[in-house]
Structure 1
Amino acid sequence: MTTTPPIPAQPPVLSAERLAAAYTYAQYRQLIEERMAQGLTTGEDQSPELTAYARLNIQRMQRLDKKTELLPELQQALAALEHEYAWVIITEGWCGDASQIVPVFEKVAQASQGRIRTYYLLRDENLDIMDHYLTNGGRAIPKLLVLHPDTRTEVTNWGPRPAEAQDLVLELKAAGVDHDQMAEKVHSWYAHNKTQAIQHELLTLVRGL
């Protein structure tokens, strides 16, 4: 007779202290605004290009905070959640994709009636976590980690962008498009898509919890 060896316990993604020290959305937004007032952005790279991106990103997030409306089916899926979850979001103020996606994460959490609580971590200050969630070997953000709040173990993860946008990025890279042109085309895609792709992917994620 053979026996199946026990499945090893899954380690927590981060410590309780580190989770408690994460930014709330309001604190994250305030941090970005304060850095911008100093002519800076978050992260290690303080190039003029990234600071300019961060300034545009603030405008994008302000617009999405005001205008994003969740799909009725996503709201229904959130209402049907039976457990609570911690959504840990790895991001930076200069990241264009984050500016288009992070406000949607927060809208979902707000609509969950307390079942989802968000925690924001800056990528460059948490590379040990980021490096467990690389995309094609790169530290692409935003990255969403869905955790059990008591054990801080992973349920699932998502990111760094909707599949359709990711395919576009890969296509543009293969074509040798430079960074500025790529950013223009990707943000044009986000503008035309109006958060529909990210919402549908989050709907699938929520239904799977």
Structure 2
Amino acid sequence: MSNGKGPDHSRRKERSRQAILAATRALVAEEPYEKVTVEAIAAAAGVGKQTIYRRWPSKSAVVFAALLALSEDTDGQSVTLPDTGDLGTDLKLVMRATVEEFTDPAFDRLIRAVNTEISNDAALAAEYRQKLAGPLDEAKRTRLRSAQEAGQLHVDADLDLVLEVLYAPLFQRWLHRSGPLTAAYADSLVDAALRAFGP
């Protein structure tokens, strides 16, 4: 007889979690964000509202979890950037992938929803930095540090500043919808950064 705490219970909880996160992503992709509610997420996931509130305290927390789940690493390995030995090539691959994400309509709406929430929620912003932005930035710094040691970046280059020069223009163009996000634009940001911080 099951005591409700064995493998079956764990599997049910995980299925419920995945259903909630998938429903959240689908609703955010389809509806104006302000119309997405915990009640609507629960109905779409086929669970009770209290099932959501037992795990997450608010809509913003569920939406962030839905975003975070997209980057969950299933093989247990840490986040790494490509390292072919050619920093320009590697950065262009990464920046082009970022452009592709930001121009995907479903991802665009989800990340805009998260940015809306973290702009008004300091605790969520801290969680975003800890669980998503922080590990990604550290992986990027690790790749830049490797390039620095190989003589592909100036020995005194501020790696955080290199990242800002790479990503801030892209993020601003995306946030304000002020211009197209293309592979050519991604490449131009890499070229500009390497001109500024090259050896």
TM-score strictly above 0.5: no
Q: TM-score, normalised by structure 2?
A: 0.26
User: Which one has a larger percent helix, Structure 1 or Structure 2?
Assistant: 2
- Bigger relative contact order, structure 1 or 2 (CA pairs below 8 A, ≥6 apart): 1
Q: Which has the larger radius of gyration?
A: 2
